[in-house]
Amino acid sequence: MGINQILSQKPSPRGEVGFRVSDVIDFARLRGVQGLDTKAVSTQISCRQDPILALRQALNEAGKAGDIHALISMYADDVIVMPPNDTTLYGRAECREWYQEYYQYFRIVALSESEREVAVHGDFALERSGYMIAIVPVPGGNRIRDDGRSFNIWRRQADGSWKIWQSMWNSVKPVGSGTNRYLSRLTQKKTKGKR
Amino acid sequence: MSQDLSVNLQQSILNASLAGNIDANVSLFSDDAVVMPPNDTTLFGKAEIQAWWEDYFQYFRIVSSAESENELTVADDQLLNEAQLPSLSFLKNRVRDP
């Protein structure tokens, strides 16, 4: 019996993707599957449960690298992004501009997820995550640490790829601490510039 | 119909907030709701959400609240709702819950 058959025999009650690795491995062993490659099973299940896992990891890496092109490539054309303490961004061009400004002032030196949950519903994947981020000002200065959360809605595109369609994030830290004060200053600077 | 439902739910949330009606507000959340208010820790479940609102209304009263924009998308039995307060939420259709 192949792993695909095993997976197909264990659908979730609501038809959503959702398997616990341990359940499937136990199930396979009960069915007498020999030489089960648990790592391969885990990978396959992860892809079924979480089709955006690799993209999320790539997104984090692009963020750390300051690779704006890679970041923007993960957004849908009609993306809407709601960064904290800032105006809503509509479309890739506005997102690119936002990141260009961000990386003009900051560099991300650490980014790790403390929590992550994904639910797939048709062509939409709802992703909630908690993260720790550390940034340093480009001109120099102290490392700034923040803890935040993000909520992304990924949408499957016509070509089958997944892109971020709507996104927002914020900090758990009080106003005036974490990265907020720096982003607020950035926003204030932008506002003054438009006057 | 879904659009009507969303408008009604949004209106209920706004009305409950304006009235400082914590019970009405919390009743709109599912048992496993997750809320991420800015500059605060994540809230898991109705009890934490209730405690958060109790704390909030101890210090503040909402005198005006209006949406400038609201976009709704239906995916399976979920309402993906982007409202400009701003917030991003998805509303679960409880009728079809197992």
pLDDT digits (tens, 9 = 90+) for A24-69: 555 555 555 555 555 554 444 455 578 999 999 999 999 999 999 9
Percent of chain A with pLDDT over 90: 56
List residues of B whose CB lies inside 8 A of any A CB: 34, 36, 38-42, 73, 75-78, 80, 82, 84, 86-88, 90, 98
Percent of chain A with pLDDT over 70: 71
Q: How many CB atoms lie within 10 A of CB A136?
A: 15
Residue (of A180, A126, A170) closest to A148 by Cα position = A170
pLDDT computed for residue A81 by the predictor: 96
Q: Is the peptide bond before B86 cis (omega within 30 degrees of 0)?
A: yes
Are B88 and A123 an interchain contact pair (Cβ–Cβ within 8 Å)?
no
pLDDT computed for residue A135 by the predictor: 94
Residue (of A113, A121, A20) closest to A61 by Cα position = A113
Element containing residue B30 per DSSP (H, E): none
Task: Share the mean pLDDT of chain A.
Answer: 81
The pLDDT-based confidence of B75 (bands split at 50, 70, 90) is: confident
Q: How far apart are CA A182 and CA A111, in angstroms?
A: 17
pLDDT computed for residue B8 by the predictor: 75
pLDDT computed for residue A31 by the predictor: 54
Q: How far apart are CA B17 and CA B61, in angstroms?
A: 9
Global pTM reads: 0.75
Instruction: Please give the ipTM for the structure prediction.
Output: 0.76
Q: How far apart are CA A137 and CA B76, in angstroms?
A: 43
Mean pLDDT of A87-110: 95
Query: Hey, where are the domains in chain B?
Result: 2-66
- Contact of B40 with B52, CB cutoff 8 Å: yes
Q: How many CB atoms lie within 10 A of CB A62?
A: 19
List pLDDT tens digits, range B22-54. 999 999 899 999 999 999 999 999 999 999 999
Beta strands in chain A (DSSP E): 75-82, 89-90, 106-121, 124-137, 144-156, 162-171
B22 to chain A nearest CA, in Å?
23
Mean pLDDT of B4-11: 71
Taking CA atoms, what residue in A is nearest to B42? Answer: A172
* Overall fold of domain B2-66: Nuclear Transport Factor 2; Chain: A, (3.10.450)
Task: Share the mean pLDDT of chain B.
Answer: 79
